[in-house]
Each structure stands twice: as structure tokens, then as C-alpha cells.
Structure 1
Amino acid sequence: MSDSGNAQSRDGGSSRVTCSSVGNKVTVVLGAQWGDEGKGKVVDLLAQDADMVCRCQGGNNAGHTVVVDSVEYDFHLLPSGIINPMVTAFIGNGVVIHLPGLFEEAEKNVRKGKGLEGWENRLIISDRAHIVFDFHQAVDGIQEQERQQQAGKKNVFTLTHLASQYKSMYPSLEIDVDGELEKLKTYVDRIKPMVRDGVFFMYEALHGPSKKILVEGANAALLDIDFGTYPFVTSSNCTVGGVCTGLGMPPQNVGEVYGVVKAYTTRVGIGAFPTEQNNEIGELLQTRGKEVGVTTGRKRRCGWLDLVLIKYAHMINGFTALALTKLDILDVLPEIKVGVAYKVDGEIIPHFPANQEVLQKVEVQYETLPGWKTDTSAARTFEELPENAQKYACYIEDHSGVPVKWIGVGKSRESMIQLF
């Protein structure tokens, strides 16, 4: 904050006022579905022109894949933009950090090829970020098993169930406190130089010399703890509000907000999935798209693109543009369906339902669009795409109300077509 000049007071005198410029704006990349949309590739593309890349929430349950020079890198805690050796990477207070996982991830990616040189000197970690231990991950596993066992049972999330759950206190859980502490002590000397006051670091980045700052969200809108398909959600705010709370920055510094949308829909694990295709279409999408979780290794459930869901994500995040990924996976289909509305008891509902029981029984209203039956993987401009592929992108623009800025037709950085 700095004093700047005088202002006239109401009685005609003068009084000092304090004012501050807005500072640099951050560009935000967020998932618009249930995750696995290809955020890492979009971040990698934008990071080539960035000075700083930030993670604002989540933990190593997230997974981003980046392909550079045919080498596939997997990121879980590190901001995926760190692959640019000129970028400073920042892990904000909203991220929970498993220290062994952080260093294992970095060392694994360093062995794969160039790009992460000097990563320890380019990584800053907020002193307000929390550490998670091995037993946290064990508890997550137990809770996931319980959710799967209880899935489909009515009133499973009643007070009685929750009370019983907490009373049991996970009797099968074993915790080696001394072993955990000894393991963590081995990382002290390496982690200490990276830790800074995160709020002050972010403030200086926003209000210092002009910088291009990129924020990559983990998980996605429908996994947000408040706005996602609760209870099958993650434990953080992975919508745009999490950027401010997870980095310690005001909303006035949020600039462009890009939503990443897969050209179809996928979901890992249990929970309602209105456009899911438990048939040969779902199998084809899973196989062609290699839909296996980066973190979990589980096959992803697959279905048609759901524009009701995308419009809901836009309501919350205010996307300024979309990145449409994996369009090439649809290349072999003679026709493509898109979910455009939900019906309950024969009536169209005007919103995305919060109640899981309602979401489980919605009837999806589809529009059928012609496919293009042409390989799009070599296209590098919008004009090089088949006409029906162009129309598919335009249809998404028209019905979501958000312009499509990029279209992905392959894994590599070069496979992202920029429209404007």
C-alpha cells in the first residue's frame, strides 16, 4: 500500500488517503467437469509464456499429464507449468502436501527428460500450507471403501450413519508416529529453502514489476466440496473462489478464467452420471481416449458431453473462454449426441440439481449432431478441421455461452489449435 496525493475532505480541507493499484492479473485454468479434462496440457501451453505458475488447492490426489517431445510427465503436487525451466512455481496455502510424494514425483519426472532442471531452486511453498501424513492417505482409502459399500443405500448420509462412522474411529487403522516423524526429518534441509510467507510472496508478485501469472486448478467444478456432486467430491474448493482463498489474494486480481472441457464426459468412481454410456459407445470412448486415472489407475466411466453440467460450471466460475480437449477421440463416430437438458417427471428443470437422488433419476434430453469420420490429429488450424468438427465446437459455444479458444486434437503441446 502506498500514500498517493491528497483528497479534499467534506469541510473543504485536505486529508491524506491511501490507495493501491490493482496490480497484475492472474490467468486461471479450471476443470469444468469431473476432472481429467486435460488441464495439464492447457497449463503447459500457457506456461511457455508465463513467469509464475501457481497451485491453489488440492493435494497429490490430483493428476495432470503433460507431453513434451514425446515424453509423458505426470504431476500431482508440483504445478505442471514447472516443466518450463524459466518459470517460478508456487504451491499456495490451499494445497495439502505429502512431502515424500512431492520429492518422489519430482525425481521421477527429472529422470524422464529435460525441463525440470533446477526445480528445487524454482519452487516456492507457502508457510501456511498443511502437511499430510501417510495415515491421512490410509484414512482416505478406508472412507472411499465405505462410500462404495454404502452407495445406492437410501438415507446413507443421515446423522445416525455419521455418528456411527466417527464412533468407530477406524479401528483397523495403524499409525507409526515415530516412523512418520523420522521420514519427515529427512526432508527438512531440502524443504526449508523453499518455504516463504505465502501471502507476502503473492502480494509482491501481484504488485511488483509486470508479470504473467498462471494459476492451475486441480480436480474440477463438479468435484468442488460446496458446488460439486456431494458427497462424491474432493475436500477443497476447486472452483474460482479457491484461487483467492488458496493463494491469499483478492478477487480483483483474477483476470481470464479458462474452463477446460473434454469433448465428451468422464468420471472416476461412484456417483450420479446422467450422460454415462454403459454400452459400446462408452467402451469406445474409454479405449480410444485411454481413460485411466493418472493417480488412481482406475478406468474412467465415459459418456456423451453434458452441456447442462458445463453451463452450471460456467454459472459458478464465470469462464471467459473454453479449451475443448480430446476432440480427436470422436473422429470415428458417425453421429454424436450432446446432453442439452434434464427432465424430472417429464418436466424440464432449469438448473443442475444439488440433490444426488434427483440427479440419479434425471432423464437427459439429447441433440444428435453428425460426426465427421475423419482423422483430425494432424489439424493445426480451425479451418483444417472437418466441417462437422467445426460445427461441433460452434454448437458448444452457442449452448454454453462461452467462446472456445482452443481445440485439442492430440496429446502434444503442438496439438492445441488456438482460435483467437
Structure 2
Amino acid sequence: MVGLQWGDEAKGKLVDLLADHHDVVVRYQGGANAGHTIVANGVTYKLSLVPTGVIRPEVTCVVGNGVVIDPEALWREIDTLSRQNIALDGRLWISDRAHLILPWHLEEERLTEGTAAATALEAIGTTRRGIGPCYRDKAGRAFALRMADLVDDPQRFRALLARIVPHKNRLLQTFLDDFTPFDAEEIAHRYLQHAERLRPFLTDTVEWLHQARQQGRRLLFEGAQGAMLDVDHGSYPYVTGSNAACGLASGSGVPAQTVRRWIGVVKAYSTRVGGGPFPTELTNELGQRIREVGREYGTVTGRPRRCGWFDAVMVRRAARIVGVNELAVMLLDVLSGLPSVNVAVAYEDDSGRRLTAPPANPDRLAACRPIYQTLPGWTEDLTGVRSWSDLPQAARGYVEFLAEAIDVPVTFVSVGPDRLQTIYKDTDQTR
């Protein structure tokens, strides 16, 4: 299950629903910058690193090797879930090959996001959780550490820190006037405390997942962020540090060809946070209305999201990259009350050419003007609708137009945050 926009597509709700029919939920990329909000039986759960299936007592959750982990953030989340009476013993497994976010990663992100001299680009608008710098060190190899380094041998972990920290201190002191050098022993002491807390949850998740498959257990893979934030295929460089579109195999160790259903999740409109081009953005009262009605504020950061019309150009591209064979349209209820709704079906660039795919150059993309198809709106409140046939004709027509524009059938329609506020367009197929 993969988001096909810039993240925040309400994937968490769908994972929670699908978990009824699966034994294991797997997170395979991203870090603590991703957030899922789940409302179940009137209780709100805010999740970041732990897969959404955790609130189902019969479901086992796996954090794969492709995720980058801040041990302190992970422990806080585990502790919060425990206080919400969510038992995790034997139900949560974390890859011993997942890479560690360390204190200097947050400072490096403060450098690249906060100082104009550090980058030729405007700020990307990250959540400043150290995600990108951690992935950068992972690719660079020289300064990267993994969960196994943390838990296997405390003395070796101290020795690795003693080698890495001086290099990081020199780098950061060069560019940040207010930087306080890190102390390797202090970091070791703090992180090794988390190692003892997290040790019971660590395992070789690749072996665990393959054994689970051999036992016939049903696996659900939960994507984080959105396909248009993919480091290779998204609106680069305003993207995340991982493969949000196509990282399943590398981030979990399970071959992609073994996955039967690929569900793409979209909002009925578009949102994104941070910097970067957004062709259908509404910077007027209508955009603010969508933000308020849709409660478009970040789960992790509380940042207001930029809002706009549905962009079929972006979503069609993402659906092809991921290879989805089903669509879930979320937050359809937010568009109720509008006299008409727009869908971007193409772009016009600054030379007047019609484009049906997003250009690679971010400046060219920012200069594109959306070509809209206008459809009739609906006035009815959708939050109480529970069947496809009971939706207003205009709402059904809008969903069907999205499916045609993306060339993927819609199987789920969401009309509110609660589990029950979900319409199964084809009951036989989706259940």
C-alpha cells in the first residue's frame, strides 16, 4: 500500500482497515518524519515509526531494514503505546540492519535547511528529524551505524563513535557558529541505554518475514511518505531520502514480485508540505477552506499543509512507477459543498506546450500551468454515507473520473476518519 501523492494521503486508516485481513504489517522505508493518525472506537493513535497494524492485537508489526531509526524517538513511541494499553511483546520486530539516526544528523539537517550559504537551493522544507543526512551517511558508508552496531557489542559501539564524532564535529564547527561539539562518550552512554530497552524487539527481519511467508501468514506492506517524494522518481530535489515509490524489496528483503495487490492511496485533492513546485496549489480562500475542513496539519510536526486540486498528471505517473492495480480515494467528504471541482489532466509549460508528464527540472515544473477538467460538485454531507450507491451522483462521477484519468480502478472510498466511514466500491474484491 503506497501513497501516490506527496504523502499524508490517510494511508494509516487504510492500513488499519486492511489489517483485519492480514497477519503482519511491514514498514520498509522512511523514518520518524512520517506520521499516521488512526481513530478507532473514539480513541486517537498517532504513530510514526511503528506500523499502523499495532493497534490490532492479533497483528504482528515489522520495521524493516530500509527504515532509519532514531532510538530515542522509537522508544518514546513504544512507551506511549504501552500507556495506551497496546501490548508489544512478541508483536513488534525491528531489523538489526536498520540504520541509526544519531545526534549529528539533526545538526546537519539544521545546517542544510537553516543556512542559505550551505545550499544553492531554497530550503527543501524537511521535518528536521535527521532522515536525509542519515540516508546520506548510509550511502556514503564511512560514518554510518546500524542497530546491530548498537546492541551487539557496547565497546565496539563506543569505539565506532570515537572514530566518527571528531569528523562530524569538525564539519559542523566549520559551518555553524552556535554549534556545541558532541561528546562521543555521552552519546554512547545515552544510546546504550536505549539499546537495552530495544534489544528484545530486534531480530533479522528478512529471515523472519520469509519464514512468515512459508507459514502462510498474510503480509501487508505499509509505505511511508508518498511516491512523489521518492528520491529517484519524485519532484527532486524536494523529496525524502528514501525510495517511497519502489523501496519495498530493498527495504524489507521480500521480492516485489511476490506481492499480489498493489493499492495506491490518494486524497480527493492534493496536499504537500515543505518546499518544491506544486502546480495545482490553491493559495486563496478555497485552499484555506480545504485545509481547515480536511484538518490538514502534520501528524508529526503540526505544520499546515499546502492544499490544491487533484493532480492527475502526478498521480498517473506515480501509479505507473509503483504498478498499482487498485486505488483508494480518501477524504472525499472534504470537497462537499463546492459548486464545482477541478482535476488537472495536463500541464501547459511556459512555451505553451501541453505536457502529460511532469518535467524533471523543478523550475520548469514550477512554471507549468495546470490544464483543468471541471466537474460538478455536490452539496450533500458524505460523512454518514456507507455504500457506493448512496453517494450523490456528482461524487460518484468525480471518483469515476479519477479512476479513468489514472487508468486504475477505485476499490475504496473514504468519507471520514473513522474505520466505519469507508465505502467498499466492490465488496467482493476488497473484502
TM-score bracket for the superposition, by shorter chain length: 0.7 to 0.9
1:390 to 396, 411, 417: 396
Question: Where do residues 41-80 of structure 1 align in structure 2 (5 Å cutoff)?
Answer: 41-80=13-52
Deviation at 1:168, TM superposition (A): 4.3
Give the match's secondary structure for 2:327. Answer: strand
TM-score using structure 2 length: 0.84
1:177 pairs with one of 151, 160, 184: 184
**8 Å contact 2:9–2:266 — kept in the other structure?**
yes
Q: Encode CA deviations 1:237-258: one digit per residue, 9 max, x unaligned.
A: 011x300000112222122111
Verify the 8 A CA contact 2:314 2:357 in the aligned structure 1: no
User: What's 2:148 paired with?
Assistant: none
What residue is the counterpart of 1:377 in the other structure?
A: 383
Supply the distance in 2 between the matched residues of 1:144 and 1:295 (Cα, whole angstroms).
18
- The answer to whether 1:335 aligns with 2:304 is no
Corresponding position: 1:252 with 2:257: yes
Is it true that 1:364 corresponds to 2:370 in the alignment? Answer: yes
Quick one: distance in 2 between partners of 1:74 and 1:135?
A: 26
Deviation at 1:194, TM superposition (A): 1.7
Q: For the Cα contact (< 8 Å) 1:276–1:304, is it kept in 2? A: yes
Number of positions where the alignment pairs a residue of Structure 1 with one of Structure 2? 376
Q: Give the one of 337, 354, 359 matched to 2:360.
A: 354
TM-score (norm 1): 0.86
Q: Which residue of 2 aligns with 1:264?
A: 269
Q: Any residues of structure 2 matched to 1:162-311 within 5 Å, and which? A: 168=174, 170=176, 172-174=178-180, 175-206=182-213, 208-239=214-245, 241-311=246-316
Whose helix proportion is higher, 1 or 2? Answer: 2
Partners of 1:74 and 1:109 within 8 A in 2: no
Deviation at 1:319? 0.8
Using the TM superposition, give the Cα deviation of residue 196 of structure 1 relative to its aligned residue in structure 2, in angstroms.
Answer: 1.4
The residue type paired with residue 416 of structure 1 is T
One-letter identity of the residue aligned with 2:281: E
The farther-off stretch of 296-305 and 135-144 is 135-144
TM-fit CA distance, 1:211:
1.4
Alignment-mate amino acid for residue 352 of structure 2:
G
**Could you tell me how far apart the structure 1 residues matched to 2:292 and 2:62 are?**
35
How many angstroms apart in 2 are the aligned matches of 1:172 and 1:186?
A: 28
Partners of 1:176 and 1:46 lie apart in 2 by: 45
Aligned residues of 1:151 and 1:270 also touching (Cα < 8 A): no
SS of residue paired to 1:388:
helix
What CA distance in whole angstroms lies between the structure 1 residues aligned with 2:16 and 2:247? 21
- 2:138 is matched with none
Asked if structure 2 preserves the Cα contact closer than 8 Å seen for 1:222 and 1:233, the reply is yes
1:413 is aligned to 2:382? no
**Cα distance in 2 for residues equivalent to 1:178 and 1:311:** 50
Give the C-alpha shift of residue 178 in structure 1. Answer: 2.6
Q: What residue in structure 2 maps to residue 128 of structure 1?
A: 97
Contact 2:231 2:242 in 1 (8 A): yes
CA distance in 1 between counterparts of 2:424 and 2:25 reads 21
Deviation of residue 134 (structure 1)? 2.8
Map of 1:87 onto structure 2: 59
How many angstroms apart in 1 are the aligned matches of 2:193 and 2:290? 44
Q: Would you say the 8 A contact 1:68–1:412 is kept in 2?
A: yes
Q: Is the 8 A contact 1:94 1:245 kept in 2?
A: yes
More strand by share: 1
- Aligned residue for 2:97, secondary structure, equals coil
Q: Aligned equivalents of 1:193 and 1:106: distance in 2?
A: 12
Q: Deviations over 1:291-334 (max 9, x none)?
A: 11111211100000000011010110111101100001001111
**Whole-Å separation in 2 of the counterparts to 1:292 and 1:341:** 28
- Change in 2 beyond 3 A, CA 1:176/1:414: farther
Q: Which aligned runs of 4 or more in structure 1 are off by greater than 6 angstroms?
A: none
In the superposition, relative to structure 1, how do residues 247 and 326 fare at CA in structure 2: closer, same or farther (>3 Å)? Answer: same
Give the RMSD, CA atoms, in angstroms: 1.9
Relative distance call for 1:252 and 1:136 in structure 2 (3 A) is same
Bigger radius of gyration among the two? 1
3-state SS, counterpart of residue 256 of structure 1: coil
Distance of aligned partners of 1:275 and 1:166 in 2 relative to their CA distance in 1, 3 Å threshold: farther
What secondary structure, in the 3-state scheme, does the structure 1 residue paired with 2:74 have?
A: helix
Q: Is the 8 A contact 2:313 2:356 kept in 1?
A: no
Instruction: Tell whether the 8 Å contact from 1:53 to 1:81 is kept in structure 2 after alignment.
Output: yes
Distance of 1:279 and 1:150 partners within structure 2: 29
- 1:172–1:358 Cα change, 3 Å: same
Q: How far did 1:169 drift?
A: 5.1
> Is structure 2 residue 2 aligned with structure 1 residue 30?
yes
Residue 166 (structure 1) shift = 9.1
C-alpha separation in 1, matches of 2:192 and 2:54: 25
Q: Percent identity?
A: 40
Distance 1:141 1:381, change over 3 A: farther
Shifted more, 173-182 versus 77-86: the winner is 173-182
Partner of 2:149: none
Q: Is 63-72 or 249-258 further displaced after alignment? A: 249-258
> C-alpha distance in 1, partners of 2:212/2:177?
47
